[in-house]
Amino acid sequence: MPDTEIKRLMKSLGESINETLSDSPKINESIQNIRDAGYEVFLIIEAKIGFNRKSKGEDETVSSVAKSDEPVRLRITRDDAKFLKSLKIAIDEL
């Protein structure tokens, strides 16, 4: 996919996220409550979006793993564990 195409897709995603937030009744109500209390509101949301090109055999591998009845073991990095801990999610070390 050419760079211009991925840039167009990323721009479309950003616009979709912005539109969804703007159209959210809960967000708009909360912002209005703050304004009614006499404050100005500045809402800044940062999104980090990453992507990788999939290889042709990748879908087959994922679907065969998903259909397996055997438990899946996850490898969690220190950063993963730190992030989960910040969300107050405990992980058991086996």
* Cα 3 from Cα 9, distance rounded (Å): 10
Residue 17 CA neighbour count, 13 Å, CB half = 12
* Cα 75 from Cα 80, distance rounded (Å): 9
pLDDT of 50 over the 60 cut: yes
Mean predicted confidence (pLDDT) in 33-57: 81
* Cα 10 from Cα 3, distance rounded (Å): 10
Q: Which stretch of DSSP H or E encloses residue 63?
A: helix 58-67
Q: State the pLDDT at residue 1.
A: 57
Structure confidence by residue, pLDDT tens digits, 3-22: 888 889 888 988 888 888 88
Structure confidence by residue, pLDDT tens digits, 53-90: 776 655 544 444 455 566 767 777 888 888 888 888 88
Count of CB atoms situated within 10 Å of the CB of 31: 14
